[in-house]
Structure 1
Amino acid sequence: MLSESYKALDQLCLPHGLYIASPAKEYRYVWIRDCVYMSLPYVDKPSNRYEKTYYRLLDLFREYEWKIDILCRHRPRSEWEYIHARYTHDNVREIHDQSWGHIQHDMVGAFLYGIGLGLKRGRPMLRDEKDVEMIQKLVNYLANVEYWHDTDNGMWEEWREVHSSSVGACVAGLKAVAGVVHVPQELIERGLTTVLRLFPRESNDKFVDLAQLSLIYPYRLFTGLLGETIVSNVEKRLLRERGVIRYEGDSYYSTLEQQYGRACSRDFYLGSEAEWTFGLPWLALCHQELGHWDKAEHYIKRTEKVMTAPGILPELYYGGTAKANPNTPLGWSCAMYILAKEAGLGATPSAQRKPGLRIKA
């Protein structure tokens, strides 16, 4: 199953080093966030696969440096002014003929985190001083948009709120590159204050959200009892038979969406939400972080049961059904399975950790 999951990632990797989210027509795009998650299985592999992804992302930011420079001088006034989240797969250009929720601070935080993680593992992430300069400008960008209270579209690219998952990603990213460029400590502390103020909520509008698992893995911001609380809330409110719903009342690919659209209230969609497969290996990864290896193994096995073929995971299943949506395989899902499976295979009793009450500042 591992080898087939790696083959799926190989097929989604483009010559320039970035990934399309899925071979399905509507997902043949490059998302910055997806590229970060899909690159994680390669961070410890003996190849240049990991840094190659980030070199192309750095080139992307270089190509739009003129835009980042403007954003470092004043806050964006319109949505299109923000750094875009999604690009064409061939020449990696912004897409202007479709409306999209591009205000996604977490993707910038994710990119910075990925750079810092690679450097921590001894990988040659920065090619020259220009790359360092671009990292500094992205830090300045987060400071200028005031990420700690600027509403964004979040991981699911929907309505604007202050999301703990977005703010937490920025905190993790800023911490990760603090030894490479200048990151004022106050910039990190403001984000931490927001995350703790919202805890255990994802936002003022949502009590719990699948995206909050990112605060435990990969960002390792919440550990111990704080992480336990997030995982428990996800399991109690969002866990389903074939995956994890993103949040209660999610209409995207709901069994009621095609009949009624997405204009109805969220309460209308309760019980019909789509079940996202990467939620299962994500829970496994979080339980590994919290030292619950038996629970992690349980979720790895559940992940393998919902594969459409060995190593192949769809984006989601329609709520309460065995019908997968067309976005198969989803690279993000395959990457999460690889990470959880390999961590489980390498686990030993001495590697197990006991939970405590901590937030990593």
Structure 2
Amino acid sequence: MLNDDYLPTWFMLDGNNCDEEWPNFQLDGYGEWLWALSQHLKLAENDNDIAKYKKSIDVATEYLCCFWNYPCFNCWQEDGEKIHTSTLAAIYGGLNSINEYLNDSYIESTLKDIKQYVLDNCIEDNRLKKCTDLNSTDANLLWAATPFKLFKVNDLIIKNTVNIIEKELVHEGGVHRYPEDTYYGGGEWTILSAWLGLYYCEINEVEKAGKMLRWIESKANINGELAEQVLDNVNDDYYINKWESLWGEVASPLLWSHAMYLILLNSINKLSLLSVNNTIK
């Protein structure tokens, strides 16, 4: 099928579709949007009326319930012929979160199907693998616990997955995407360091989360700007020049990197304050 056979993945700032030739069949974004909307509805004081979003919700939920087990591009816009565990986690998280408001039996049935599919096809040696047919790891597997809750953060499957991520992808505090990554050499990504830090917050490992935070802060430039990835420790430095010749230097500043830093900082501050209050009591 062609790009036009699916709902668009890329949009311009004004809301119009993006006409550039990017991979289009990518489902994780629709799951992420449903999850984000549900969080907005929980947190917003003056905007908790789900009815105004019903048309968009109906389109997104029907789309995901129909296509969740189709091969598509992952969050890195790669491997469009594979079924990705992180994509399934994002779809599950979005459908599960929004269904707290909808209580839809079809969505509930789909959630059970997704969970069982992951258990049957996305686990090797009692830990999550990158794709159904690729026994490798990827830092985006953190999504399965944080924030999409496909598994609980203390589930043995998640613990084993994080152990592999720590062993194969973490260097001092910086987190690589996956072992074979050569995009700009395959450096350490700011957002993934923050994401691992958020997982540590979820299991009350504040010191480990703080280490990730300090690593991110140490990689900001003189203006306090954070890049997409840091090239101090790459998988293959040959590819740095290759990608720079195609697209220029690594994107910086990157909004996503700054957002994830602030989310991690806020999470650590909340845990630290809770610890102080418990000590006082």
TM-score class normalised by the smaller sequence: 0.7 to 0.9
Relative distance call for 1:220 and 1:143 in structure 2 (3 A) is: closer
Structure-2 separation of matches of 1:274 and 1:134: 37
* Segments of 4+ moved more than 3 angstroms: 122-130, 321-326, 348-352
Distance 2:158 2:266 in 1: 22
Secondary structure of the structure 2 residue equivalent to 1:278: helix
Displacement of 1:83: 1.9
SS in 2 for 1:93: coil
Tell whether 2:245 aligns with 1:316: no
What is the aligned partner in structure 1 of residue 58 from structure 2? 136
State whether residues 132 and 180 of structure 1, in contact with CA within 8 Å, keep that contact through their aligned partners in structure 2.
Answer: no
Query: 1:155 matched to which residue of 2?
Result: 75
In 1, Cα distance between equivalents of 2:162 and 2:208 = 11
Q: Give the SS at the match of 1:214.
A: helix
Quote how far apart the aligned CAs of 1:126 are. Answer: 6.1
**TM superposition score normalised by structure 2:** 0.81
Offset of residue 80 of structure 1: 2.7
Aligned to 1:205: 134
Q: Contact 1:216–1:289 (CA<8 Å) still a contact in 2?
A: no
What is the CA deviation profile of residues 112-139 of structure 1, one whole-angstrom value per residue up to 9, with x for unaligned ones?
0011112223445566745212202211
Equivalent-residue separation in structure 2 for 1:292 and 1:196 (angstroms) = 27
Aligned mates of 2:36, 2:180 — CA distance in 1:
32
State the identity as a percent.
Answer: 23
Q: Is 1:103–1:154's contact at 8 Å kept on the other side of the alignment?
A: no
Equivalent position to 2:258, from 328, 334, 347: 334
Counterparts in 2 of 1:154 and 1:194: CA distance versus 1, 3 Å: same
Aligned 8 A contact 2:61 2:95 in 1? yes
Contact 1:139 1:183 (8 Å CA) reproduced? no
Corresponding letter in the other structure for 2:71: T
Q: Distance in 2 between matches of 1:176 and 1:123?
A: 18
Structure 1 position 186, deviation (Å): 1.1
Distance (whole Å) between structure 2 residues aligned to residue 126 and residue 142 of structure 1? 23
Report the counterpart of residue 33 of structure 2 in structure 1. Answer: 111
- What runs of 5+ residues in structure 2 fail to find an aligned partner? 277-281
Question: Following the alignment from structure 1 to structure 2, what is the Cα–Cα distance between the partners of residues 195 and 310?
Answer: 43
Partner-residue secondary structure (3-state), 2:268: helix
Q: Which residue of 2 aligns with 1:246?
A: 177
Separation (CA, whole Å) in 2 of partners of 1:217 and 1:336: 13
Does 1:189 find its partner at 2:112?
yes
> How large is the Cα RMSD of the aligned pairs?
2.6
The count of corresponding residues between Structure 1 and Structure 2 is: 254
- Counterpart-to-counterpart distance in 1, 2:112 and 2:44: 27
CA–CA distance in structure 2, aligned partners of residues 166 and 228 of structure 1: 19
The 5 Å alignment of 1:66-77 reads 77=1
1:94 to 3, 17, 35: 17
Structure 1, residues 63-100: CA drift from partner, whole Å, max 9, x if none?
xxxxxxxxxxxxxx3233222222223x332233x321
Q: 1:299 aligns with which of 193, 212, 218?
A: 212
Describe the SS at the equivalent of 1:244.
Answer: strand
Q: 1:124 to 1:159 in 2, by over 3 A?
A: farther
Matched, 1:228 2:159: yes
Q: Distance in 2 between matches of 1:233 and 1:286?
A: 14
Q: Distance in 2 between matches of 1:229 and 1:83?
A: 35
1:206 to partner: Cα distance: 4.8
Equivalent in the alignment of 1:43: none
Residue number in structure 2 paired with 1:178: 99
Secondary structure at the residue paired with 1:86?
coil
1:162-206 superposed Cα distances (whole Å, 9 cap, x missing partner): 111111111111111113333522111111112223131121225
CA displacement 1:242-300 (0-9 Å, x = unmatched): 7322112112112xxxxxxxxxxxxxxxxxx2221222111111111122111111111
Q: Which runs of 5+ in 1 are unaligned?
A: 1-76, 255-272, 353-361
Contact 2:191 2:261 in 1 (8 A): yes
Q: Tell me the amino acid that sits aligned with residue 228 of structure 1.
A: K
The residue number in structure 2 matching 1:285 is 198
Displacement of 1:101 after TM fit?
1.4
**In structure 2, C-alpha distance between the alignment counterparts of 1:100 and 1:80, rounded to whole Å:** 12
- Quick check: which one's helix share is greater? 2
- Is the contact made by 1:86 and 1:95 (CA closer than 8 Å) also made in structure 2? yes
SS at match of 2:40: helix
Distance in structure 2 (CA, Å) of the matches to 1:84 and 1:174: 19
Which shows bigger deviation, 206-215 or 120-129?
Answer: 120-129
1-structure distance, mates of 2:87, 2:232: 26
3-state SS of paired residue (1:313): coil
Q: Which has the higher contact order (CA 8 A, sep 6+)?
A: 1
Counterparts in 2 of 1:100 and 1:284: CA distance versus 1, 3 Å: same
Q: Choose 220-229 or 183-192, whichever is displaced more.
A: 220-229
Give me the whole-angstrom Cα distance separating, in 2, the residues matched to 1:233 and 1:100: 31
